Structures are given as C-alpha cells and as structure tokens.
Structure 1
Amino acid sequence: MRAVVVKQPGPPDVLELVHDWPVPQLRDGEVLVRQSSTSVNPVDYKIREGAFKGKFPKVLGGDVSGIVEDSKAAEFQKGDQVIALTFGYHWDYNEYGSYADFTASKKEWLTKVTEKFPIEIGGGVPLVALTALQALQSGGAPKPGAHVLIQGGPGGVGHFAIQLAKVHFKAYVVATGGPSNQAFMKELGADETVDYKNEDFSVKYKDKPFDVIVDPIGGEVEKRCYTVLAPGGTYAHIFNEHTNTQNAEEAKKNWKDGRKYTLTLVQPNGEQLGLIARYMEAGKIRLVVEKEFPLEQIRDAHKEVEGGHVRGKVVVKVSA
C-alpha cells in the first residue's frame, strides 16, 4: 500500500511516499480501515522535525476517516463508514499511522458515521474535536450559562471548542483571534470576540472572569489567563511543545478558591467521537477546512500547517 514514511527527523523533505508499505495485520479487537482522508496536526510536524523523541521509521498521523475493509471486532463490518483517533498521532507509538491507504484501529477508538457525515474530509475531525471536548470538560462539565473563554478560536481545536461549548454545554462563549477572524468566530457561535492584536483579554474581562478557559497557546497568554479565571473555575491547558507546568505550580500556590489547572493530551475515544459525529450529522457543528491536499502533496500540507494561522483544518485526501 501507499504510505508516507519518516525515516529520520528533519524538514518536510523527509516525508517519503512509498508504494510497498505493508498493510496492517489485524489482532483481535482491531479494525482495518481504507482511508478516505486524514489531516495534518501541529504534533505531526513537530514529531517529523524531532521536537519530541519519536521512534523512526514512522508513518505519521492518528486521524482516521474511511470505510471498514476488514474487522476482528463484531461491532464493525466491512463497508461501515467510520472515524477514529488512533495513537498514530503520538511520538511513542510506532504501529499504524494514518498517512496511508489503510490503517488499523482498536474498536473502542472507532465510531460509525452515516451518509450525512463527510468522510471525504472527515479526517480533519477526530484529534481536534476530541481535544476540544476533553479540555472543555476536564474540570467537570461546564454548567449551562457558564462563561467560557476559547483562546485561538479560529484554529483546529478552537473552532470546535467554540461550537461544542455553545451546542453541547450551552455556555456563553468568548473567543480570541486575529482581526480577520472576528466575524468567522461569531458565525461559529461565539457570543463575544477579542481581537488579540488590538485588545488585551485580561484587561477587557478583568471584572468578568471565566468559569472555563481553554488555552492551546500557553506562555504569556497562559499567565494572563490566570488573572481572569473565576473562583472554582478551570484553566484547561492543551499540551504542546511550549507547555511549562512550572507556570501552573507557581500560580496554584496562590489559588485558595477552588480554581483548577488541567493539562489535556488528547486520548482516543470512540464514544465521544460518536457524540461529535451526531452533532455534525444534524448540522449543528461543522468542520472548517482551510485547504485540501492529495496524499502525494503531503510535504505541501505540512508546510501549510507550519506556516501558522490556519483557519480550521488542513485535510489530506487519501482516496478519491
């Protein structure tokens, strides 16, 4: 089968499309999926360039969207349309990546989707949507009407976090983004938006703190988030290469009012993906795709994501 292989870390040029990579051999409880689409996440290019201590050679990617080809799990049959997040996104996992014609998934990572779900671009959904959901409820499910701040609202995680906060948790949502994305974030459901280039959210909301803050950025943004976190509120940090838990340890020394710090490193979860898929099939939540690339142009897809400021996701089409 075709697969994109990284044999050693480096720039996008180390991404090599081969045509003789072995098709995964299933174990009990696993499902073989013919890939329709996958996507590029920041963790993919970070692994590729060696920011994390990955195992090589490696087929990158954990986002799965396609059709069951074979199954050793009674719950799934050939022809089922499915999506999943596998541990292929993780630097320590070296079995089945999703930058390939076929990938394998444990049954508990999968969920079936209907004809209303866009599997041809659905590979853009699993990692970012699960990250958003898991971060939002990491300190306990937000109550209806809770005030939620989403940093990086136009991005992959951010644009799902805005929608899930509104649709699933019935929250009041404030989202940050650049000047060209203010209307976009409102279209996704944000009640208020912050132009981070011209406004400081920590000043604007100094007297209107948040019950939940989802932050995939960190650094100085993280420190300012602490100043607008309500008593009993949750600061949900999303793991990335800039994560520094010492910031939280310093802050928590002064937190005597029930405020919580959570660190989200997304975990595969078919049940949660099923919830997200049902919302998408009902037209209540949508995936926004910045660009689509065929598997043959995977290097260009990586360059697009590395350039930053992607609105939504970059999707990789594996099969027609």
Structure 2
Amino acid sequence: MAPVPKSMSGILIDAPGGADVLQWKTDLPVPQLQDGEILVRNEFIGINYIDTYFRTGLYKAPFPLVTGKEAGGVVVASSSPEFKEGDRVGYISDHAYAELTALPAAKAVLLPAGITTEQAAASLLQGLTALTFVREAAGIKQELGVSEGPWTLVHAAAGGTGSQLVQILSVMGAKIIGTAGSPEKCELARKNGAQWVIDSRSEDVAARVKEITSGRGVDVIFDGVGKATFDLDLEIIARKGTLIVFGNASGPVDPVNLLRLSPKNIKLMRPVLLSYIVTKEEWRSYATELFDLIAAEKIKIAVFKTYPLSEVRQAHEDLEGRKSTGKLLLKV
C-alpha cells in the first residue's frame, strides 16, 4: 500500500453559512492517529441533511470545520488490533468530507464481501436511522404479515431517509402512507413499498389520511420535515399515537406546549441515531442487520447522483433545493 501523504484534499468551512462556505482545499493536513484509531482513505462519502445543519450553524461545532458523517473506504493505517491496512470499512463519524479521515475503530465496521464501499456510504447513516427508529422509537417488530401492522406515515417518503423508512416498514408488515412533493416522487415512494401515497403539494394531506384510515388517523408518524408539518402531524395522528420528529428540512419545530399532546395522549419523540448505537455491540449489530437486508435485496439503495468531492457545493444546493430523490454521494 502507498505511504500515507502529509497533506490531502478535502472540504473546509471557516464560518457557518450557505453552500458557498464549502471550500475545496488540496493542502489540508492529514490527521495524526491516536491510540485505538484507524485512518481511512475515503472512496465514497454520504451526503446528509445533518451536514447542512453543521454547515449553517444550526448544530454547533467548532470552526474551521471539516464536516461529513459517513463514508466507505479502505484502512491505510491502524493503531487498533481490530483493523489492518487494506480492510474495507464503512463508518459513521466526523470529518468525512476529505480524502483521509481518522476515527475511533469502534465507529467503523468491516464490510462483508457482498457490500461495496459505495453501498456503505449510501446506506449507513440513513439506513441505520430508519432501522433504529422503526425498531426502537416506534417499537415495530417483524411479527406480522404484509399490511397487518400499525398504521404509519412517512413524510418526504422519496428522500434518502424516507425511502429507507418505507422499505423497512414494508419488511416489518406496517400499513404505510407516504407523502411526497411531486408525481415522480410519489411513484418512487409507491415502488419502495408505500401502499398509499399523497402528493403533499397538490392534495389535502389531512383529508386524505382521514379518508385512507376511515377517520382513525395513523399510529406512528416519521417526520424529517419539521416545522412545516408539525401542526399537521398533531391533526392526523391517532389516539395514543407516536410522533417521531427527526429532522429540520423546513426548519426546527417551535417550542411545544405539552398540553397540545393531551387530547390524544400522544407520545412525542425527537430521537437521534447516535444515541441508539452508543456501544460497539449496538452499532455493529444494527449495521450487520442492515447489510443483511441489503444483500437479500429486501432494501434497495437508490443513488440519485454522485459528485466529485470538489463539487460538494452543487451537491448541497441540489439537496436543499429538493432536486433529488434517494441518496447523494461524493466520490473521492
């Protein structure tokens, strides 16, 4: 294997702002390994909405910053007995928008033979978000047949996380309503397993949900949109329902008067993936389950577009402009 260079290419953010603050650099210092860490030469990097939250300063981080939360690549140096040079790995960690990333070995997983570094980068963060939210936040298990499980609704059902949620809920036997913002996105949500799909731009979502569920509402809502859909969620959720708000695509939800939850005894959650995969055992168990679902073709990872790392600004603009369906990747 080639020796590790002293400098590398990557994306640097000096201060929070729009996509224009993402600076392409070719002289960033290569991070030095600490005990228990591995150095990964990234091949593919996943783009996620959380990257925009750190870029804009909605989520706090020290600047200057190399953002990015997931990638697939090859180990080029290791100070951990778990991995050796040449191992193919996927990971969820910080500072992925670069040619090389140093991270704790506990945050990486060895890729099985049937999973590529591209698939790892395209599936880990959103796939594990969907899997843990279905399993732990919603408590839905694979115990029933198709469409015998609870009524569920997924907002932005054609997006990266939304498409994974729909597919996993389908495997688990849920009754799935998806919302999406165009006929094309509605069709994609339907292909992924949503039995009912509502065009959120041209249809009355509340009226359609009441029609589809014969007035009872939905048991579980997965909402990655945030501010724009929260009031709607409270209207369409069923009595004793669970509302899982996990994203801020339209902006963060305003402070909530808890008395608004009382009429239907609503459970309101704001989970994050990383709190479900704290231990190495949790992280690798869920990653193994996700890879097994992908290998068995029960989940399909749809990559919408792959950009060179140097074109990350365009990737962020496309993501925030709702121009994509499925996953966006960066190639190093």
The TM tier, using the shorter chain, reads: 0.7 to 0.9
Alignment partner of 2:85: what SS?
coil
Moved more, 120-129 or 55-64: 120-129
Structure-2 separation of matches of 1:303 and 1:113? 31
Unaligned 5+ segments in structure 1 are: 89-96
- The one-character-per-residue Cα deviations of 1:128-147 (angstroms, maximum 9, x if unpaired) are 22222233234342143122
Of 68, 74, 81, 2:88 maps to 81
Of 311, 321, 324, 1:297 maps to 311
Aligned to 2:3: none
Structure-2 separation of matches of 1:211 and 1:75? 42
Structure-2 separation of matches of 1:122 and 1:288? 12
TM-score, scaled to structure 2? 0.84
Aligned to 1:232: 240
User: Does 2:113 correspond to 1:110?
Assistant: no
Aligned to 2:173: 170
Of 258, 269, 275, 1:249 maps to 258
Q: CA deviation at 1:317?
A: 0.4
Structure-2 separation of matches of 1:109 and 1:239? 22
Residues 126 and 245 of structure 1: CA distance in aligned 2, closer, same or farther (over 3 Å): farther
Structure-2 separation of matches of 1:228 and 1:307? 27
- Return the structure number with greater relative CO, CA threshold 8 A, min gap 6: 1
8 A contact 2:130–2:161 mirrored in 1: yes
Aligned to 2:68: 61
Residues 181 and 240 of structure 1: CA distance in aligned 2, closer, same or farther (over 3 Å): closer
Aligned to 1:217: 225
Q: CA deviation at 1:67?
A: 1.5
Aligned to 1:287: 301
Q: CA deviation at 1:162?
A: 0.5
- The one-character-per-residue Cα deviations of 1:184-228 (angstroms, maximum 9, x if unpaired) are 112111122112123223222221422211001123422222223
Aligned to 1:94: none
Q: CA deviation at 1:153?
A: 0.3
User: Between the two proteins, what is the percent identity of the paired residues?
Assistant: 29
Aligned to 2:19: 12
8 A contact 2:230–2:253 mirrored in 1: no
Moved more, 153-162 or 243-252: 243-252
Q: Which amino acid aligns with 2:195?
A: D
Q: Which amino acid aligns with 2:301?
A: L
- The one-character-per-residue Cα deviations of 1:233-261 (angstroms, maximum 9, x if unpaired) are 211101427233633624223344xx311
8 A contact 1:163–1:189 mirrored in 2: yes
Alignment partner of 1:301: what SS?
helix
Moved more, 210-219 or 132-141: 132-141
Aligned residues: 306
Q: CA deviation at 1:4?
A: 1.0
User: Does 2:138 correspond to 1:135?
Assistant: no
Structure-2 separation of matches of 1:248 and 1:264? 19
Structure-2 separation of matches of 1:104 and 1:270? 19
TM-score, scaled to structure 1? 0.87
8 A contact 1:138–1:262 mirrored in 2: no
Q: Which amino acid aligns with 2:252?
A: T
Aligned to 2:268: 261
Of 200, 218, 223, 2:204 maps to 200
CA RMSD between the two structures? 2.2
8 A contact 1:24–1:103 mirrored in 2: yes
